[in-house]
Amino acid sequence: GKVHHHTWDIAYRYKSPDCFEKLAVTINGEFPGPTIRATQGDTIVVTVNNHLETENTGIHWHGIRQIGSPWADGTVGVTQCPILPGETFTYRFVVDRPGTYLYHAHYGMQRVAGLDGMIVVSVPAGVSEPFSYDEEHTVLLMDWWHKSVYEQAVGLASDPLVFVNEPQSLLINGRGRFNCSQSQAAGVGCNASSPECSLPTLFTAAPGKTYRLRIGSLTSLSSLNLEIQGHSMTVVEADGHYVNPVRVGSLFVYSGETYSVLVTADQDPSMSYWAASHVVGRDRKTPSGLAVLRYSRNESDPPRTLPPAGPAWNDTASRVRQSRSIVAHPAHVEPLPARPDRALLLLNTQNRINNRLKWAVNGVSLAFPPTPFLVSMTMKRGGMYDQQKQRPPPETYDYRSYDIASPPAANGTVASAAYRLGLGSVVDVVLQNTVALNGKSETHPWHLHGHDFWVLAYGEGKFDPDKDVAKFNLRDPIMKNTVALHPMGWTAVRFRADNPGVWLFHCHIEAHVYMGMAVVFEEGIDKVGRLPKAIMGCGRST
């Protein structure tokens, strides 16, 4: 394959993506970052120059499995030391599967500041996909705060905790609209004359043509519903895997997920139409993100209709129904092992640990260690990753007596422990939701690094290993890298631990992973080979 070289200068710049001027992390001055385009089998080389003055960084290539390059995963504390201000780090990896992927900062909560973008991997010439279209466009969904990432992160670590609260706006391809006149600080910080402060065009359609929209969500908190007025969408790809086509009026998208949908321009071409993203899963306090689907290049007026209002934010049943409808395309089912070698039942809870509010998995809240796992686990001499000191995290919880609707006051622990998986073994993970300390149960989109998993089932209530395994879809499950854990429900996935390295599995809500909602999987560490020196230099990895 071809080798694509990119040089990225990462720096803060004043931007007004929703008309409100604030510092955003940019790539070569751009926000969001440029779309990386390549063909299956190509190599991507990105040289990152950190010009953030006072912040470290690290960039994760979300959905790229990093087979044979576990040190290029970009997960600070897991696969590498942070890239310090003034330093340069080069990522080199192969894009081995076609599909729609993402990239974003993976250091602290830095993604909130805007370091993100999309990766589009095409099929090689002569290879056809199980659908056709005339043109394609990317649609990157985000939520946006006016507080700095520093203020957000320090607030979450403070006692008492200061929560990030709801975003000020939702962005579509980096643009949104904050109602300056309605804000308390009326006018302050608003930059209505900025060219960024204008309604974005989703795309311009020619009547009768079909468009592939590659949609990705890198929201920090929000689950979203995306709707294009008057147009249905046919879902054909999810996280790089072909979907048995399913037609939807609107699409639910969780942070870390990507979808391709086909949209046919079959409506009155003398009109233009709203595209809108709406918060779901949390009481909606943020205005919807808006963009316009136009039918002619001359049409510059906004649509004459009102933007769609979106589904009820708390209609969980519709969201679960859509999740269940996403299964593998019949010609692209990836056969899966009939049973696992090992099963983990992971209880998601919000805990108070040492008087700090945390998120925990089976009572353990993950702390990113100063020495990255990949380094400490690879270095046998000196025993830097000490199994004795780091007791392996629990495989299950007391599911027989546990009440997910009123969890017992658990304190739990903060640890940097990892699950060690047999190389090549088949692992089932069932994620179990509960209510948080505020009495509500949230949606948690879980993302696995280094692998895709089969999505076996979405269930309601408490998972019962004796009964619910029978509900697993072993016939045509879709493979994904990010999956929703719905409120008061459970989600079951299966994967093959066949990628030597150390891999994070975590809730993709930036505040939640920051508060410990993550686990670490290690497999085949002795097969990893010589680590590049560039990932070292922190903790005891000098």
Q: Which does 444 bind (CB under 5 to 8 A by kind): Cu ion, ligand C2O, none?
A: Cu ion
Query: How big, in percent rounded to 5, are the helix, strand and coil portions of the chain?
Result: 10, 40, 50
d(CA 24, CA 87): 20
Which CB atom, from 462 or from 508, has the smaller least distance to ligand C2O?
A: 508
d(CA 493, CA 473): 10
Find tokens 């008057």 and name the residue.
230
Q: Which stretch binds ligand C2O (CB under 6 A): 222-230, 306-314, 452-460, 501-509?
A: 501-509
Q: What is the largest distance, in Å, between two alpha-carbon atoms of the chain?
A: 72
- The encoded tokens of residue 305 equal 């209709």
Residue 360, H or E segment = strand 356-361
Which CB atom, from 447 or from 494, has the smaller least distance to ligand C2O?
A: 447
106 in contact with ligand C2O (CB under 6 A)? yes
Q: How far is the CB of 171 from ligand C2O (least distance, A)?
A: 17
What is the full DSSP assignment across 341-390? SEEEEEEEEEEEETTEEEEEETTEEE---SS-HHHHHH-TTTTSS-TTTS
508 in contact with ligand C2O (CB under 6 A)? yes
Q: Which stretch binds Cu ion (CB under 5 A): 61-69, 246-254, 404-412, 505-513?
A: 505-513
65 in contact with ligand C2O (CB under 6 A)? no
Question: By CB under 6 A, how many residues form the interface with ligand C2O?
Answer: 11
62 in contact with ligand C2O (CB under 6 A)? yes
Nearest CA to 58 out of 111, 127, 18 is that of 111
Which CB atom, from 73 or from 227, has the smaller least distance to ligand C2O?
A: 73
Which CB atom, from 20 or from 61, has the smaller least distance to ligand C2O?
A: 61
Residues 409-468 that bind ligand C2O (CB under 6 A): 447, 449
d(CA 378, CA 149): 32
Alpha helices in 139-274 (DSSP H): 149-157
Q: What is the CA radius of gyration of the chain?
A: 22
Find tokens 């001027």 and name the residue.
21
| C-beta separation of 116 from 78 below 8 A | no
Q: Within 10 A of 542 (CB to CB), how many other CB atoms are there?
A: 8
Q: Which does 97 bind (CB under 5 to 8 A by kind): Cu ion, ligand C2O, none?
A: none
- The encoded tokens of residue 315 equal 């209609």
d(CA 171, CA 190): 16
Which CB atom, from 119 or from 139, has the smaller least distance to ligand C2O?
A: 119
Q: From the list 15, 22, 104, 177, which residue makes contact with ligand C2O (rule: CB under 6 A)?
A: 104
Q: Which does 512 bind (CB under 5 to 8 A by kind): Cu ion, ligand C2O, none?
A: Cu ion
Residue 280, H or E segment = strand 273-280
Q: Which does 104 bind (CB under 5 to 8 A by kind): Cu ion, ligand C2O, none?
A: ligand C2O
DSSP-assigned letter for residue 76: B
Pairing of strands 3-15, 43-50: parallel
Which CB atom, from 33 or from 516, has the smaller least distance to Cu ion?
A: 516
Q: Which does 447 bind (CB under 5 to 8 A by kind): Cu ion, ligand C2O, none?
A: ligand C2O
Q: From the list 361, 448, 507, 536, which residue makes contact with Cu ion (rule: CB under 5 A)?
A: 507
Q: Which stretch binds Cu ion (CB under 5 A): 237-245, 274-282, 455-463, 506-514?
A: 506-514
Q: Which stretch binds ligand C2O (CB under 6 A): 26-34, 140-148, 349-357, 503-511?
A: 503-511
256 in contact with ligand C2O (CB under 6 A)? yes
CA distances from 84 to 14, 58, 89, 104, 415 (A): 22, 9, 9, 17, 25
Nearest CA to 257 out of 112, 139, 430 is that of 139
Which CB atom, from 329 or from 447, has the smaller least distance to ligand C2O?
A: 447
- The encoded tokens of residue 257 equal 């997920």
Q: Which stretch binds Cu ion (CB under 5 A): 109-117, 395-403, 451-459, 510-518?
A: 510-518
Q: Which does 507 bind (CB under 5 to 8 A by kind): Cu ion, ligand C2O, none?
A: Cu ion
Q: Which does 106 bind (CB under 5 to 8 A by kind): Cu ion, ligand C2O, none?
A: ligand C2O
Q: Which stretch binds ligand C2O (CB under 6 A): 261-269, 289-297, 450-458, 502-510?
A: 502-510
Which CB atom, from 62 or from 284, has the smaller least distance to ligand C2O?
A: 62
Q: How far is the CB of 507 from Cu ion (least distance, A)?
A: 3
The residues that bridge with 248 in the sheet, in sequence order, are 233
515: left (phi over 0), alpha (psi -120 to 50) or beta: alpha
Residues forming the site for ligand C2O (CB under 6 A): 60, 62, 75, 104, 106, 256, 447, 449, 504, 506, 508
Residues forming the site for Cu ion (CB under 5 A): 444, 507, 509, 512
